[in-house]
Amino acid sequence: MGSTIVSISGSRIESSAPGTTPLLTIRHVAKQFGKNVVLRDISLDVAEGEFLTILGESGSGKTTLLRIVAGFESADSGELSMMGERLDRLPPYKRKVNTVFQSYALFPHMTVEQNVGYGLRVARVPSAEVDSRIEQALARVRMTAHAKAKPGKISGGQQQRVALARALVNRPKLLLLDEPLSALDANLRRQMQVELKSLQREVGISFVFVTHDQEEAMVMSDRIALLRTGELEQVATPREIYSRPATAYTAQFIGHTNLLRAEVRGGRAHCESLSWGVGLPDGQAAFSVRPEDVRVVGPGRPAVDGVVRFRGKVQHRAFHGATELVRVVAGDGLVFSVRTTGMDGREEVECEFSPADAVPVRDSAERS
Amino acid sequence: MFSRAYRIAITVPPLAWVTIFLLVPYLLMFCFSFWSVSSAQTIVHSWTLDNYKQLFTKDVYWETLLRSMWIAARVMVFSLALGYPLAYFLSFYAGKRKDLLYQMVIIPLWVSYLVRAYAWKTILGSDGVLNTLLQYVHLTRHPLDFLLYSPFAVVLTLTHIYTPFAFLPIYAALEHIPRNLVEASNDLGASPAQTFWRVIFPLSIPGVVAGATFAFVLSLGDFLAPLLLGGPSGIMISNIVVTLFGAAYNWPLGAAISLCMLVLVVSLLFLSERLEKKWNFS
Amino acid sequence: MHALLVFCFLYLPIAALIVYSFNGAGVGGFPPRDLTLNWYRILFQDGAIWESVGNSLLVAGFAVVIALSFGIPAALALDRAQFPGKALFRRLVLLPLILPGIITGLSLLMLFNWAGTKLSLLTIVLGHGTALISVATTEVFAGLQKLDRAQEEASLDLGATYWQTFWRITLPNLRLSIIGAALLIFTLSMDEIAVSFFLIGRDNTLPLEIWGRLRRGITPEINAISTIIFVFSLTVIVIWYRLRARGEGSPEIAAELVETAAQGD
């Protein structure tokens, strides 16, 4: 699954792997509510069978984008097409797209069974087929035992599965999920993340998943589209977005990072007392170094050529189970987060990182 | 959390008042219904079932009661027919003007009943606005008789008065429906019409029941509109009661009829409450 | 468009009324001719009407006092206290809202008859007060639901007694509900006719005065007073609505009245 990251300004087309026809194309979609510009010039492709997550903070426009695809909002400009046909001209009930709502939106006056069968009955699918498809859908989300219950009587997690079944039973080409796991507690969430992912694989349709939780996005997605105040910051696979963040924002939003602002002179980056070799032109630059790429050096180990070393005081240690995240303040005031697997109770440490792990990122200015 | 003195202060006074002025009167009504009237026009406190016997045997009472119920039923149907679409329009399609339009529906409610009934009288009379208008545009040559002093006039006036009463609970129920249910229904492929019948209407039923009950019960007990506009053919059960407490001076009999009405109304209220609970899904 | 028709239906009679109050030839006859203020002039000279207006104002004022004095505690009791007979109490209090006025009026008549009380303005006041307690209770009850319980708890926590909390915290928060209820009760009392019909003594209230005249025949004077009543009610309801909207901003206000009544338990 490929992706292309283009410049931060102007239009960018984040497409799926070359050679395949995308399922959904979003082109230059913009939307504002009154004076509030929520989406600026969004262009994105969704491939068939892919699990794409739209990730962003609240206010980033991610839910609005989803609602535009579902049909509950209309874009001010731009177009949407699905399999070559214009989607944005159709009302929601004519689109082959189904949504799992954040609040599940189950019909309180119908049983689980009736909820799941709603879309089929409305489309006048023959009764026998309806029954068998409902059965299948309920089995898939393991809610068969609760078929005759009313939504008010089942738990949040169960409601969520019913909402999923209700959407999937219609065999849509595209399933939209609006932060469906946000109301669940942590353990259930993790479990559902795995279930959703395997469900998607099983069913084989495209999922577009909206969330603000970057861990969730990393765990589940084939690709992540990071949305920031109405614009796409980066669209890439989780691995790529983590190890090659395009901007400082991305680097800091996804996982922990150390952001080093340096001046490049003559092929070397200088950040306070540290310097290392880079192949960049002179000027200001920013680098992202992941905490796990910063190593605590054992006493007496010589520095390998090119490696950047520094000394510092341990300010804070956070226990994360398998690892510890240690905050080290270097002599010249630089603060590093260092991830180690077990460290003795030293107060003074020596750390190092390789220049190769210092990923250059664009330090984009704050956008309104 | 609240002290004993506080609790006494907030329960005893209202309880006392309600007992004296609501409970005791109903009990008295009950007692009165078993008493009778002597030829000297005084009330005799002797216990008898005569009043009820009269009630159940004399035709005029039954006929009037049935006619009243028939009028009330028609008012109920028409108020719902007018009120529901109005509430639906306001709740789902009115957008920014929703508040203003809502106020406009409420206003007639608080304009004097008498004023409104009187207004219809002036419109429907043989010299009234409607008749003279129709003649003016040559649609009719003579005044239409049935317009006034008929059950028609009563039904029309009462519908006019009680439509806002029917509207209010329906509107409240519709407003309570979470809009994401409508979106979910659309998302699943239902057209607006299908969404209405399968999702919106079922969820609004408690409001419909409440509105229908109001319209029916209040119309049933109405005596002013029939007096003003009903004429001899539009007499309702309450009118009979009024005469019994007035010129015909038979309080016990009147009390008996009132008690029956009270029982009828309370039963209807219980029934409607049951229905509302059954159809309440929130 | 259906909505438009319904609105027309609702307002037509009122519009006709207003128009004809200015009509020289009185009611009847189309189209209206002779724009005149004559009927208003006659109205202002009519002593009996103004006397009844005075009576109505008096009655309404006292009705408000009674309804609030008993309605506010009733709402509090329903909201907070448990006592035997609470369910019956609640139904009794709310019953006059939906019961046809004739039953309320007649039952009170029998009470006064049995107790030997002569009918007069006082009995009307008692009748209105009783019937309208239900309005006060529903309004204040709704206001109580919106009240943040934590505020009262904070007050107690900071050392105030129950009474101090009531006067300093609870009542001020209920201010809007109480004012709204007062306005509503006042207007309803001014217009009340069904209950008053049976409890009337020698002095008339305005609706009963109008009623008396109606029985005798139509005069366009009635149109004039009706128009005035309409304008008055309009003003009151708009003020009431603005007050409430300031407090919550949701248009479910009168519906609460009706809804709570219909819900019973």
Q: Where are the domains of chain C?
A: 49-263
Chain A residues with beta carbon closer than 8 angstroms to that of B183:
70, 72, 92, 99, 101, 105
For residue A146, the model assigns a pLDDT of: 92
CA–CA gap between residue B164 and residue B159 (Å, rounded): 9
User: Which CATH number fits the domain B50-278, given the four candidates 1.10.3720.10, 3.40.1390.10, 1.10.1040.10, 3.40.50.150?
Assistant: 1.10.3720.10
Q: Is C98 in contact with B23 (Cβ distance < 8 A)?
A: no
For residue A39, the model assigns a pLDDT of: 93
Q: Is B273 in contact with C229 (Cβ distance < 8 A)?
A: no
User: Are the CB atoms for A209 and A181 separated by under 8 Å?
Assistant: no
Q: Where are the domains of chain A?
A: 24-249, 256-361
Output the CA–CA distances (angstroms, integers) from residue B84 to B173, B212, B272, B275, C55, in the order listed: 11, 11, 18, 18, 39
Return the higher-pLDDT residue of B86 and B209: B209
Q: What is the mean pLDDT of residues A301-326?
A: 85
Output the CA–CA distances (angstroms, integers) from residue A16 to A132, A199, A244, B44, in the order listed: 35, 21, 18, 97
Q: How far out from the chain centre does Cα A185 lie?
A: 19
Phi, psi (5° rounding) for residue A35?
A: -90, -10
Per-residue pLDDT of B215-247, as tens digits, reads 999 999 888 888 888 878 888 888 888 888 887
Per-residue pLDDT of A258-283, as tens digits, reads 888 888 988 888 888 888 888 888 88
What does pTM read for this prediction? 0.81
User: How is residue C4 written in tokens?
Assistant: 């438009």
CA–CA gap between residue A46 and residue A50 (Å, rounded): 7
For residue B1, the model assigns a pLDDT of: 54
CA–CA gap between residue B25 and residue B7 (Å, rounded): 26
Q: Is the pLDDT of residue A219 over 80?
A: yes
Chain B residue nearest residue A150, CA to CA: B281
Residue in the block written with tokens 């849509």: A172
Q: What is the mean pLDDT of residues A317-333?
A: 85
User: Are the CB atoms for B171 and B93 separated by under 8 Å?
Assistant: no
User: Are the CB atoms for A107 and A135 separated by under 8 Å?
Assistant: no
Q: Is the pLDDT of residue C49 over 60?
A: yes
Lowest mean pLDDT among A28-37, C38-47, C70-79, C229-238: C38-47
C239: CB partners within 8 A, 6+ apart: C183
Q: What is the mean pLDDT of residues A284-305?
A: 84
User: What ipTM is given for this predicted complex?
Assistant: 0.82
Q: What is the DSSP string of B143-196?
A: --STTSSSHHHHHHHHHHHHHHHHHHHHHHHHHHS-HHHHHHHHHTT--HHHHI
User: Are the CB atoms for A204 and A174 separated by under 8 Å?
Assistant: no
User: Are the CB atoms for A209 and A51 separated by under 8 Å?
Assistant: yes
Highest mean pLDDT among C40-49, C107-116, C166-175: C107-116
Q: Is the pLDDT of residue C241 over 80?
A: no
Q: Is the pLDDT of residue C107 over 60?
A: yes
CA dihedral (C141, C142, C146, C152) in degrees, to 10, reads -10
Q: What is the mean pLDDT of residues A315-344?
A: 84
CATH number for the domain whose boundaries are A256-361 = 2.40.50.140
Phi, psi (5° rounding) for residue A39?
A: -130, 130
Return the higher-pLDDT residue of B174 and C44: B174
User: How is residue A103 written in tokens?
Assistant: 């609040």
Class of domain A24-249: alpha beta
Q: How far out from the chain centre does Cα B47 lie?
A: 33
Chain A residues with beta carbon closer than 8 angstroms to that of B180:
101, 103, 105
For residue C255, the model assigns a pLDDT of: 46
Output the CA–CA distances (angstroms, integers) from residue A323 to A191, A289, A326, in the order listed: 22, 17, 10
Q: Is B190 in contact with A122 (Cβ distance < 8 A)?
A: yes
CA–CA gap between residue A308 and residue A288 (Å, rounded): 14
Identify which of B129, B82, B113 has the alpha carbon closest to the alpha carbon of residue B228.
B113
Q: What is the mean pLDDT of residues A341-368?
A: 79
Output the CA–CA distances (angstroms, integers) from residue B256 to A49, B3, B29, B45, in the order listed: 76, 44, 8, 14
Lowest mean pLDDT among A4-18, A32-46, A226-240, C109-123: A4-18
Within chain B, strands assigned E span: 36-37, 43-44
- Disruptive mutation site among A90, A100, A107 for chain B (greatest number of B CBs within 10 Å): A107
User: How is residue C201 written in tokens?
Assistant: 């003594």
SS3 A282: coil
Q: pLDDT > 70: what percent of chain B? A: 89
Name the DSSP class of A357: G
Q: Is A40 exposed, middle or buried (0-12, 13-18, 19+ CB in 10 A)?
A: middle
* Model confidence band, residue A10 (pLDDT cutoffs 50, 70, 90): very low
C167 in contact with B, Cβ within 8 Å: no
User: Are the CB atoms for A82 and B154 separated by under 8 Å?
Assistant: no
User: Are the CB atoms for A311 and A317 separated by under 8 Å?
Assistant: no
User: How is residue A74 written in tokens?
Assistant: 């209309």
For residue C34, the model assigns a pLDDT of: 58
Contacts from B18-22 at CB under 8 Å and sequence distance 24+? B18/C70, B18/C74, B18/C89, B18/C92, B18/C93, B18/C133, B21/C108, B21/C111, B21/C126, B21/C130, B22/C92, B22/C93, B22/C95, B22/C96, B22/C107, B22/C130
Per-residue pLDDT of B65-78, as tens digits, reads 888 999 999 999 99
* Model confidence band, residue C33 (pLDDT cutoffs 50, 70, 90): low
CA–CA gap between residue A107 and residue A96 (Å, rounded): 21
Closest Cβ opposite residue B128 in set C28, C85, C262: C28
CA–CA gap between residue B125 and residue B134 (Å, rounded): 12
Q: Is the pLDDT of residue B276 over 80?
A: yes
* Model confidence band, residue B45 (pLDDT cutoffs 50, 70, 90): confident
Q: pLDDT > 70: what percent of chain C? A: 76
Q: Is the pLDDT of residue C185 over 70?
A: yes
Chain C residue nearest residue B22, CA to CA: C92
Per-residue pLDDT of B119-158, as tens digits, reads 777 777 766 666 666 666 766 666 666 667 778 888 888 9
Output the CA–CA distances (angstroms, integers) from residue A91 to A68, A74, C110, in the order listed: 11, 10, 64
For residue C22, the model assigns a pLDDT of: 59
Residue in the block written with tokens 């950040």: A271
Q: Is B181 in contact with A107 (Cβ distance < 8 A)?
A: yes
User: Are the CB atoms for A355 and A262 separated by under 8 Å?
Assistant: no
Cis peptide, bond prior to residue C31, ω within 30 of zero: yes
CA–CA gap between residue A4 and residue A22 (Å, rounded): 14
C224 in contact with B, Cβ within 8 Å: no
Output the CA–CA distances (angstroms, integers) from residue B175 to A108, B191, C57, C250, in the order listed: 16, 20, 37, 10
User: How is residue B216 written in tokens?
Assistant: 């029916």
Lowest mean pLDDT among A11-15, A31-35, A82-86: A11-15
* Closest approach of B185 to chain A, Cα-based (Å): 8
Highest mean pLDDT among A152-161, C142-151, C240-249: A152-161
Class of domain C49-263: mainly alpha
Instruction: Give me the residues paired with residue A26 across strands.
Output: A44, A80
B-C interface: how many C-beta pairs under 8 angstroms? 273
* Model confidence band, residue A57 (pLDDT cutoffs 50, 70, 90): very high
Number of alpha carbons in the 13 Å side-chain half-sphere of residue A290: 15
CA–CA gap between residue C134 and residue B233 (Å, rounded): 35
Q: Is C99 in contact with B169 (Cβ distance < 8 A)?
A: no
